[in-house]
Amino acid sequence: MTNVDDADTTHLRRLMVPVLVDVHGTAWATAVFDVTLRHRDHVLVAEAPPHGLSMDVEKTVRATAAGLAQGSGAGPLTVHFLADPRTGEVRFQKKEAGLPAESTLAETLTGLDLASLQHHLAHGGSLSGEPPEPRGHAFQICLSARDPEAGFAPRPGLVEVLRLAAGPGLCAEAAVEEGTAPAEADPLLVRLTAGARNRTEALARLQNGLARTTVVLRGGATDKAFLTEILDRPEISHAGAEAGWVDRLVERGEHLSPRGLRGALVAAALAAYDAELDQAKAGFYGAAQRGRPEVSKEVGRTLELRLRGHLYAFRVHRLDPALYRLDVDGT
């Protein structure tokens, strides 16, 4: 492996390896991530192990990362590489202190608790034996308060509804709570990781998890429809996306489909309805405990949501726990 200048990255894939080092210099390289798919410098989809990287090459990358981390002092470290898909060459790029934000990928594949290990090492603990071998496949995306219709500018707002997906192989890490607002400097809302036995199953699990994750912002916007569209494209399912693919997609205006937008809008309306219904139930039970229960005469709920500059008024009725009727008036 050779060093590479940062400017020579046009056709290369970006890899990173989280490494833990103890006071004796023992280094555990946990897994290899592919973080090529990004818009500008914002990672959109992270994947481990990198598709198309042979098992032997992946092991060599981890071994190289562990060797580079030795002598850097105890603690966490991230080693970056660039892979050339044309030649199969993998080149060292840089190393930096700390673990990457995508570290849950390594935990999903290895079962390690990296936070606990960091605490262990910080108090003089050591690493014994070899690290667990990564097994299966994992993807990660970040749902953010960014507006794809406005150049992905931060659009934070008050979090009125936060519904996280749960299930086998899914890990949803919320960066906000209901009643709070994300910071404009870091508009992250939810980091969603999905792991499974193979790439196809992991991607399907991620798509399903994103569909069942809902964040409604008052006065803000999210990039859920954009992420839904990206994950549904054949370039992702067939692993044909290259560096710069997302940027070119955005430049051509192909990054949002009407289907994805409509789906996100309906999901937001239903989630907002459920949240208001929960509040109404809590108010009813509270009043009942005081001996004065009150039932609203209103049937259904009217909600207003904005999309692409248009205001949509939804009239939502829940017919049974899993069946809704929506009437919509767009202006």
Average pLDDT over residues 278-305: 67
pLDDT at 133 over 90: yes
The CATH number of whichever domain residue 45 belongs to comes to 3.30.470.20
The predicted structure's pLDDT at residue 49: 95
Q: Do 93 and 64 fall into the same domain?
A: yes
Return mean pLDDT, the chain.
85
What count of other Cβ atoms lies within 10 Å of the Cβ of residue 143?
23
**107 CB-near residues (< 8 Å, 6+ apart):** 113, 114, 171
Same domain flag for 271 and 300: yes
Nearest to 253 by CA among 113, 162, 149: 149
Q: Same domain for 141 and 165?
A: yes
Q: Give the count of domains, the chain.
A: 3
Question: What pLDDT was estimated at residue 8?
Answer: 47
Q: Which residue has the higher pLDDT, 329 or 149?
A: 149
- Per-residue pLDDT band at 163 (split at 50, 70, 90): very high
pLDDT > 60? residue 5: no
Take residue 120 and report the two structure tokens written for it. Answer: 């262990």
143 plus 232 within the same structural domain: yes
The pLDDT of residue 81 = 96
Which residue would you say has higher pLDDT here, 30 or 219? 30
- Shared domain for 17 and 96, answered yes or no, is yes
217-276 per-position pLDDT tens digit? 988 889 998 999 899 988 888 877 777 888 888 887 766 655 555 666 777 777 777 777
Q: Is the pLDDT of residue 215 over 70?
A: yes
Which of the four pLDDT bands, split at 50, 70 and 90, describes residue 108? Answer: very high
What pLDDT band is residue 6 in, cutting at 50, 70 and 90? very low
Please indicate, yes or no, whether residues 25 and 112 belong to a single structural domain of this protein.
Answer: yes
Tell me what pLDDT residue 132 has: 94
**Span 282-304, mean pLDDT?**
66
The residue among 329 and 80 whose pLDDT is bigger is 80
Q: Is there a domain that residue 7 lies in? A: no
47 compared with 295, residue with greater pLDDT: 47
**Is the residue at 171 inside a domain?**
yes
Please identify, among 255, 282, 304, the residue that sits at the C-terminal boundary of a domain: 255
Q: Is residue 204 part of a domain?
A: yes
pLDDT of 4 strictly over 70? no
Q: Is the peptide bond before 49 cis (omega within 30 degrees of 0)?
A: yes
3-state secondary structure the chain: CCECCCCCCCCCEEEEEEEEECCCCCEEECCCEEEEEEECCEEEEEEECCCCCCHHHHHHHHHHHHHHHCCCCCEEEEEEEEECCCCCCEEEEEEEECCCCCCHHHHHHHCCCHHHHHHHHHCCCCCCCCCCCCCCEEEEEEEECEEHHHCCEECCCEEEEEECCCCCCEEEEECCCCCCCCCCCCCEEEEEEEEECCHHHHHHHHHHHHHCCEEEEECCCCCHHHHHHHHCCHHHHCCCCCCCHHHHHHHCCCCCCHHHHHHHHHHHHHHHHHHHHHHHHHHHHHHHHCCCCCCCCCCCEEEEEEECCEEEEEEEEEEECCEEEEEEEEC
Give a yes or no: residue 130 inside a domain: no
Query: Does residue 2 fall inside a structural domain?
Result: no
Contact 224, 209 (CB under 8 A): no
141 shares its domain with 237: yes
Same domain, 287 and 309: yes
Comparing C-alpha atoms, which of 195, 161, 184 is closest to residue 33? 195
Provide CB contacts within 8 A for 252, sequence distance 6+. Answer: none
- Find the range with the poorest average confidence among 20-29, 110-119, 306-315: 306-315
CA triple 245-250-252, angle to 5 deg: 95
Contact residues for 230 (Cβ-Cβ < 8 A; gap 6+): 37, 44, 45, 236, 246, 249, 255
The residue range of the domain holding 203 is: 137-255
More confident residue, 85 or 67: 67
- The pLDDT of 42-70, averaged and rounded, is 92
How would you write 106-168 as a 3-class SS string? HHHHHCCCHHHHHHHHHCCCCCCCCCCCCCCEEEEEEEECEEHHHCCEECCCEEEEEECCCCC
pLDDT at 298: 55
Indicate the pLDDT class of residue 65, thresholds 50, 70 and 90: very high
- Determine, yes or no, domain membership for 320: yes
Is residue 17, in this structure, part of any structural domain at all?
yes
Predicted TM-score (pTM) of this structure: 0.77
Indicate whether 177 belongs to any domain. Answer: yes
Q: Are residue 192 and residue 145 in the same domain, yes or no? A: yes
